[in-house]
């Protein structure tokens, strides 16, 4: 495995690989890697000849400076994980390399960039689009791999790929969870021992809500989830939206769509740490899950 910090060095290596007809996979990350990232890397390795893992903490997608400041930075440990997975290259550029001058581009793809996370984190998805478009330009991957935990982000990236006329294939990979159900996240390392013990209740309640939804209205289901989570000390729901899985717009009842997803963000602890998750209520075959 090789680590590249400079764009030109990575591009030279990829030029040779591409000249030999090799397929290139990209796993974009912000570092603080875990088993969820490892699953993306493994997926890419299985489908491509060369796998590039980018490790870049992107400042333009943080609307809260304190969130950016305390985000884990663990490049040495990240490198060990990437090497253990068997990836070929790590791309760990500086901010100056990615943004040699201020990025003034503005990306907006309503409604997917304007609801839920987009509404509550102004500028977040614009920053995501800025860095992903740069990575697509630099790496020119055949496929790029994203985890379903950031479910709304995948919808945004798909719109971005269309907008910039990129032929990259966007590959969605399942959420990886701890045995107690908590979705793997780089932010989990910021939880105290007590907070970590409480956080799995989020997914447990989401799972229970699937059965509850069989005999209750959409509004009742939403209220149940919010009330149950808010009743737990150290947890506070920022939002829980039940939406159409394609448009990401809220639905009024279970009959309005054949693909319905519940998306949640919860603050955990006194700091607090912002945790996201989601659950599918209906799939495209119009069956409850």
Could you list the residues known to form a binding site for ATP, using ranges: 30-37, 147-150, 176, 184-187
154 C-beta neighbours (distance < 10 Å), count: 18
Our CA angle for 30, 182, 31, nearest 5°, is 10
Q: Which residues contact 12 (CB under 8 A, 6 or more apart)?
A: none
What does residue 278 show for φ and ψ, rounded to 5 degrees?
A: -155, 165
Q: Which residues contact 238 (CB under 8 A, 6 or more apart)?
A: 120, 265, 266, 267, 274
Could you list the residues known to form a binding site for (R)-pantoate, using ranges: 61, 153
Paired strand residues for 68: none
Q: How many CA atoms lie within 13 A of 200 on its CB side?
A: 10
Could you list the residues known to form a binding site, using ranges: 30-37, 61, 147-150, 153, 176, 184-187
Choosing from 37, 106, 216, 278, which is the catalytic residue?
37
Could you list the residues known to form a binding site for beta-alanine, using ranges: 61
Q: Is residue 48 within 8 Å of residue 163, measured between CB atoms? A: no
Active site residue 216: no
- What are the residue numbers of the active site? 37
């Amino acid at each position: 495995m090789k680590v590249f910090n400079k764009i030109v060095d990575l591009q030279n290596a990829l030029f040779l690989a591409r000249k030999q007809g090799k397929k290139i996979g990209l796993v974009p990350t912000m570092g603080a890697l875990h088993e969820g990232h490892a699953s993306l890397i493994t997926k890419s390795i299985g489908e491509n000849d060369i796998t590039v893992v980018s490790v870049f903490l992107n400042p333009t997608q943080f609307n809260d400076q304190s969130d950016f400041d305390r985000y884990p930075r663990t490049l040495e440990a990240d490198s060990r994980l990437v090497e253990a997975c068997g990836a070929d290259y790590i791309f760990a550029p500086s901010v100056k390399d990615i943004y040699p001058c201020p990025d003034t581009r503005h990306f907006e793809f309503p409604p997917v960039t304007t609801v839920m996370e987009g509404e509550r984190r102004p500028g977040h998805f614009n920053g995501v689009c800025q860095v992903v478009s740069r990575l697509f330009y630099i790496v020119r991957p055949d496929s790029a791999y994203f985890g379903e935990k950031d479910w709304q982000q995948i919808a945004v990236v798909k719109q971005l790929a269309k907008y910039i006329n990129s032929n990259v294939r966007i590959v969605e990979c399942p959420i990886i969870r701890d045995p107690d159900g908590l979705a793997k996240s780089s932010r989990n390392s910021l939880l105290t021992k007590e907070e970590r013990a409480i956080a799995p209740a989020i997914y447990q309640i989401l799972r229970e809500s699937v059965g509850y939804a069989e005999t209750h209205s959409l509004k009742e289901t939403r209220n149940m989830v919010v009330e149950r989570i808010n009743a737990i000390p150290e947890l506070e729901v920022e939002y829980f939206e039940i939406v159409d899985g394609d448009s990401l717009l809220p639905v009024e009842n279970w009959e309005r769509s054949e693909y319905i997803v519940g998306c949640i963000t919860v603050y955990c602890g006194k700091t607090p740490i912002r945790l996201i998750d989601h659950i599918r209520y209906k799939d495209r075959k119009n069956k409850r899950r």
